[in-house]
Structure 1
Amino acid sequence: MKKQSGHVGMLFAMIIPILFGVFMLGSDGARALQTKARLEEAAEAAVLAVSAEDSENHTLAQNYIEHYVYDVEGIENLNVQRLSCEDMPDCQAGLSKGQARYFEYRVAGQTRHESWFPGQGVIVGFGETFDVTGSSKARRYQGQPVDITFIVDFSGSMNENWSGGKKTKIEDLKDIIEKVTDELEQYNALNPEQTHRVAITGYNRRTINTGNNNKLIIRDQRITTKMGEYDKDDVVNFNKTIEQQFKVKGAAKRVPNGDDEAEFYDIFYTDKFDGFVKDVRGFKANGGTASLQGIIRAGQIVTQLAKRPKQLIIILSDGEDWNHYAEQTPKLVEKGMCTNILNMINGGKVTADNTSDSINVVNGVSQGMKTPDGEQMTASMSVIGFDYELDANVGLRNCVGVDNVYKAENTDDILNQILSLITEEVGHLTL
């Protein structure tokens, strides 16, 4: 009997470490599974955040992980990716079948945690630390039908070569616009009742559009109280320029040297992209740069001709405004040139009259624009700058806001940014 008791005691002593090890593995194992679930949730939240921001913001993703996951010893191998359709064979294959273009965002990371029961000797455990991994993906697809208004710089500098492309800047930009319309055409083929449309207005130190007899007229969007010999000598009435910014102007009283050698004109909203591209191909750039001219003219086009639920205004420029115009544009922005356009469409306070359109403005507050079906329109403005430092053009930066100014290093950057602006504001989760 004593021998049997001794055997039981020895067996119990041998089993204790095993039982304790099972307990520790169970405790830390359950904790690891819970931690992985939290990390997966964090990755889902983070990928939605970066897709909404349209970025590869590692700091933003890390903040989400730290908020969701407790007792983290360290975050390792955090990977945040933004992939365009060209980077994904599946997306490319879908385009060939008429499916919608999308951008994909991926967040993946690994967190390290200190074990509660690391184990020692014969007692099993997870070791001093254990690692957990998690990942998620989100896609942004093209959403509601859009009226896209391109405001394009047709100044002389656009005729120069640049490091971001193989042609002159203006010819590269024409290629990009054609590629954008090719993408829109694929969407329109699937949704013939709700098509995307495009329009374009150009600028140098003036704008050009047709009159009642279809004759091209060079126009100055500024209101001047006194004209000098040159533009720099003009006395601009900034308040009146803003009050009448939505009024179509008459022929310019003076055209600066070189600007009259440019050949471009307004093309109003259309979904007939072949004709649109053919016309744009024939445009020629020359003269100085005054972005205020294109912005004001675009506002006239949008408020009179827009029909789609979403209005997207994109300014494409290769540099800062010409001399004195670099001072005039910020002054007009400060007085409401750009906010008037957005608020006239979205609804909000405006400092311009609306005698030239049918938009309901009550006590200086626009009631917003609606589609023919009665749906409220929404509008946004962005700048895509290329071949210059963005901070050099203060007027454009202040016009759209620093978060809506994008720098493009090459033609692919410009194309992808335009297509990204067209896609949905926020992605949805995908496996």
Structure 2
Amino acid sequence: MMMLFAFAMHLAQQMLAHARLLEAAEVASLAVAAQNEPTQAESEQLAKAIVDFYIKDNVGDLAVSVDQDACTYASGCMQEAGELAPSMQTDVVVQAKYNSWLAYREIGIEDQFELKGGSLSKRYLPKPVDVYFIVDFSYSMSWSWTNGEPKFDIVKETLARVVEQLRLYNQYNQDKSRIALIGFNKYSVRKVSGKRVLYNMDIYDTTTETVARMFEDKPPASSYYQYYDYYYPKNFHDVPLTEDYDHFLAELDTMTANARYAGTHSWQGMLRSAVVSNEATNLNPDQVFIVLSDGHDNEITYNGVRTNRYLKMLVNSGLCQKLFDNMRSKKGRHGEAISVKAGVIGIDFLLDKESNGFYDCVGEKNIYHASQGPDVYKYILQMLNEETGRLK
């Protein structure tokens, strides 16, 4: 009876101690996984501090080890495991020594015993993305927001903040997130041999033909438009898809939106984005198209009728459906399926549902109204769906 009693007491002590040890390891594992950019020493220090807080009845120092392993596209782990997003696994193992409540050497119960346990946490990481910012460079973008801030200055500051966020996400991925800028007013503008050149992406007579040939590049606009800067200014240019963020920001810094006679033809940006995205290679799994604009499209004459619904006509002819389906038909750089997201942010501007083609292009739930500067950044991150990760 005494041996049975001693055995039961020892087993109960071990079970209670082991449960507490596992709980401490789990909390430590979650805490380490939630950190941003920790060193190995910092991770181990945090884990040990948490375990020390939980376990008070041990003898001597606790032995705590932390091991982290990334599961990414490039390593092949995601494909093998069938994961939908890259992840970081954090394994915390704890070893502790205890004094036995009762010692009974005749049945193998010594004065002290050791226990070991661990916990594995998984943090899902941001996927690498390709982001196409389709930005309005009409004259009104130089005007002040209702709170007095110049709209284009806010856009530039916001894109700089997004770049810094992408730098943070890139630490988790061998394949880096990339960013492109596609500007528009009445024209598209590119930098050719160091000079800005106007391009008209809409050179056909009908919306049907324009959409049918949307992935074909277009020749530069005629010399009349190239040199008549007063009416056809060149104060911006495209920045191709790049992971060189410093180059992107340096190019953006040279751009303005203060050209007095620059109107808004948003279809120029959408048609140009079709060419740029179609020509892109080594695609990341998420393709994101974000339009930033502050006003209605200007009226044009189509089939002898003045209209401000030209984008809507192009969308009804299949512009956006064809653009997004084309991207979904491709494969990512590691053979993975492509996801496409798109949205429009009205810069101090409410889009009209009846006339504005973007409602039919991206869907009403992806139309945002930025009533103040911080809203722009908030909505961009919301569309990117890039969080600091979730724990499991």
Equivalent residues in 2 for 1:198-347 (5 A)? Answer: 198-211=179-192, 213-224=193-204, 236-253=205-222, 255=225, 258=230, 260-285=232-257, 286=259, 287-306=262-281, 307-324=283-300, 326-346=308-328
Q: TM-score, normalised by structure 2?
A: 0.62
Q: CA shift at 1:192, angstroms?
A: 4.9
Alpha-carbon separation, structure 2, partners of 1:370 and 1:182: 27
1:428–1:192: structure 2 CA closer, same or farther, 3 Å change rule? closer
Amino acid at match of 1:162: W
1:97–1:383: structure 2 CA closer, same or farther, 3 Å change rule? farther
Q: What residue number does 1:401 align with?
A: 363
Q: Percent identity?
A: 30
Query: Which 4+ residue blocks in structure 1 deviate beyond 6 angstroms?
Result: none
Q: Which deviations, in whole Å up to 9, do the C-alpha atoms of 1:265-310 show, x marking residues without a partner?
A: 1111112212211110111223000000000101111111151111
Alpha-carbon separation, structure 2, partners of 1:275 and 1:209: 15
1:289–1:412: structure 2 CA closer, same or farther, 3 Å change rule? same
Alpha-carbon separation, structure 2, partners of 1:152 and 1:142: 28
Farther off after superposition, 175-184 or 317-326: 317-326
1:187–1:370: structure 2 CA closer, same or farther, 3 Å change rule? same
Q: Contact 2:138/2:184 (CA < 8 Å) preserved in 1?
A: yes
Whether 2:342 is the aligned partner of 1:381: answer: yes
Q: What residue number does 1:79 align with?
A: none
Q: What residue number does 1:181 align with?
A: 163
Q: CA shift at 1:331, angstroms?
A: 0.7
Alpha-carbon separation, structure 2, partners of 1:175 and 1:381: 21
Q: What residue number does 1:153 align with?
A: 136
Q: CA shift at 1:214, angstroms?
A: 5.0
Q: Contact 2:185/2:264 (CA < 8 Å) preserved in 1?
A: yes
Q: Contact 1:150/1:315 (CA < 8 Å) preserved in 2?
A: yes
1:257–1:281: structure 2 CA closer, same or farther, 3 Å change rule? closer
RMSD: 2.8
Alpha-carbon separation, structure 2, partners of 1:384 and 1:142: 26
Amino acid at match of 1:331: M
Alpha-carbon separation, structure 2, partners of 1:244 and 1:176: 34
Alpha-carbon separation, structure 1, partners of 2:124 and 2:162: 15
Q: Among 183, 195, 199, which residue is 2:176 paired with?
A: 195
Alpha-carbon separation, structure 1, partners of 2:209 and 2:349: 32
Q: CA shift at 1:96, angstroms?
A: 7.8
Alpha-carbon separation, structure 1, partners of 2:125 and 2:142: 33
Instruction: Point out where structure 1 has 5 or more consecutive residues left out of the alignment.
Output: 1-89, 100-139, 225-235, 347-367
Amino acid at match of 2:363: G
Partner of 2:249, secondary structure, is helix
Q: CA shift at 1:195, angstroms?
A: 1.3
Alpha-carbon separation, structure 2, partners of 1:150 and 1:259: 25
Q: Contact 2:125/2:390 (CA < 8 Å) preserved in 1?
A: no
Q: CA shift at 1:215, angstroms?
A: 3.9
Q: What residue number does 2:73 align with?
A: none
1:142–1:201: structure 2 CA closer, same or farther, 3 Å change rule? farther
Q: CA shift at 1:149, angstroms?
A: 0.4
Q: CA shift at 1:261, angstroms?
A: 2.2
Instruction: Point out where structure 2 has 5 or more consecutive residues left out of the alignment.
Output: 1-30, 44-122, 301-306
1:239–1:298: structure 2 CA closer, same or farther, 3 Å change rule? same
Q: Which deviations, in whole Å up to 9, do the C-alpha atoms of 1:197-252 show, x marking residues without a partner?
A: 100010001001134x454320111124xxxxxxxxxxx32221111111111112
Q: CA shift at 1:372, angstroms?
A: 2.6
How many residue pairs align between the two structures?
264
Amino acid at match of 1:143: P
Q: Among 155, 162, 168, which residue is 2:145 paired with?
A: 162
Q: Contact 2:126/2:172 (CA < 8 Å) preserved in 1?
A: no
Alpha-carbon separation, structure 2, partners of 1:94 and 1:259: 53
